[in-house]
């Protein structure tokens, strides 16, 4: 094992896939000489050149539209949308074109494109640069949705996403880019649709995504002092969703808290809660609790931003409300 940050792990996965398959290329605003808005693609332009690390105009419609065309004609593009919020611009290309083409052409067309998208609050970037919109895309048949937490998960899942013959939305929390963790010396693909138990426990299952995995692990340490043992399950991919791992954890603990940074209303937590209630109701000994952002735009003000986004205390309170 070696130590890498999330940004370094993503960069290494991109490098490995670009070396392995000449059809893989990167495109987006400032991904080339500048190295990306968050420095993730640094050095790749110098290594692979402008044909495979393409700086684009400031047009998300052009970026995704070009990626769809490239994917449909045999390439494996990895477009980057600089902020998750800007996914509102190329929604037609994503939802009505990329997601539908394989189905509408009877399986003859493949759309192997991986859309890298920084998400999340934490840097006072305000309402138009801080959202988590992953729930929009799990609603769309034809799209796969990935949301890792650790450096190793980012690397392994990105490799699998690039190799997949379907369009994949790959959500990266911008406040995790500098987080360090162990990554295998030989990075292997991590299958899409396989959750990971980040911490085993007995009393409450906490299903957490992205940055909230770290906050849930911190909450687990605090709850342990009160004799409460929580199991932290990271779905890693939101579609396909690993219901088997989640359900097995629910069978063990009989209590569930779901944590995500996106606003609570219509969030992925609602879908997971519905599936648990629908198929695992007899195993539940308490109501399913959701911990998520308040249903407001993310404020610019640091104190207000901190108030809106879930924190460790919110997770602890939710767990205690249903713990034995």
**Residue 48 corresponds to which tokens in the numbers above?**
């692979």
Beta strands at 180-183 and 168-173: parallel, antiparallel or unpaired: unpaired
For the chain, list the strands marked E by DSSP: 2-5, 24-28, 53-55, 76-80, 114-119, 144-146, 168-173, 180-183, 196-199, 204-208, 230-234, 237-239, 256-263, 289-293
For residues 62 and 75, give the distance between their C-alpha atoms in angstroms, rounded to a whole number. Answer: 16
For residues 293 and 307, give the distance between their C-alpha atoms in angstroms, rounded to a whole number. Answer: 9
Q: Taking Cα atoms as reference points, which of 215, 158, 161 lies closest to residue 183?
A: 158
For residues 248 and 244, give the distance between their C-alpha atoms in angstroms, rounded to a whole number. Answer: 6
Helices (H) and strands (E) in the chain, counts: 12, 14
Give the active site residue among 129, 154, 173, 260: 129
Q: Is 154 part of the annotated catalytic residue set?
A: no
Tell me which residues are annotated as active site.
Answer: 129
């Amino acid at each position: 094992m070696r130590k890498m940050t999330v940004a370094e792990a993503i960069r290494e996965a991109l490098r490995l896939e670009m070396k392995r398959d000449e059809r893989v290329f990167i495109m987006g605003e400032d991904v080339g000489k500048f190295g990306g808005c968050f420095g993730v693609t640094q050095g790749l332009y110098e290594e692979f050149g402008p044909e495979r690390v393409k700086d684009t105009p400031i047009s998300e419609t052009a970026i995704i539209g070009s990626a769809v065309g490239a994917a449909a004609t045999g390439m494996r593009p990895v477009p980057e949308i600089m902020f998750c919020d800007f996914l509102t611009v190329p929604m037609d290309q994503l939802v009505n074109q990329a997601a539908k083409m394989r189905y509408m052409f009877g399986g003859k067309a493949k759309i192997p494109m991986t859309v890298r998208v920084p998400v999340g609050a934490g840097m006072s970037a305000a309402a138009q640069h801080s959202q988590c919109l992953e729930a929009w895309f799990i609603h769309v048949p034809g799209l796969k949705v990935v949301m890792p937490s650790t450096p190793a998960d980012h690397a392994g899942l990105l490799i699998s996403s690039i190799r997949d013959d379907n369009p994949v939305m790959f959500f990266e929390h911008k406040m995790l880019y500098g987080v360090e963790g162990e990554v295998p010396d030989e990075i292997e693909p991590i299958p899409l649709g396989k959750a990971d138990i980040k911490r085993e426990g007995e009393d409450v299952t906490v299903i957490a995504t992205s940055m909230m995995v770290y906050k849930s692990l911190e909450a687990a340490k605090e709850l342990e002092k009160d004799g409460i043992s929580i199991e932290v399950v990271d779905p890693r991919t939101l579609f396909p969703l690993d219901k088997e791992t989640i359900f097995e954890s629910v069978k063990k603990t009989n209590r569930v808290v779901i944590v995500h940074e996106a606003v609570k209303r219509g969030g992925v937590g609602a879908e997971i809660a519905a599936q648990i209630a629908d198929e695992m109701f007899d195993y539940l000994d308490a109501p399913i609790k959701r911990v998520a952002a308040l249903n407001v735009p993310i404020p610019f003000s640091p104190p207000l931003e901190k108030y809106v986004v879930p924190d460790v205390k919110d997770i602890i309170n939710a767990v205690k409300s249903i713990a034995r």
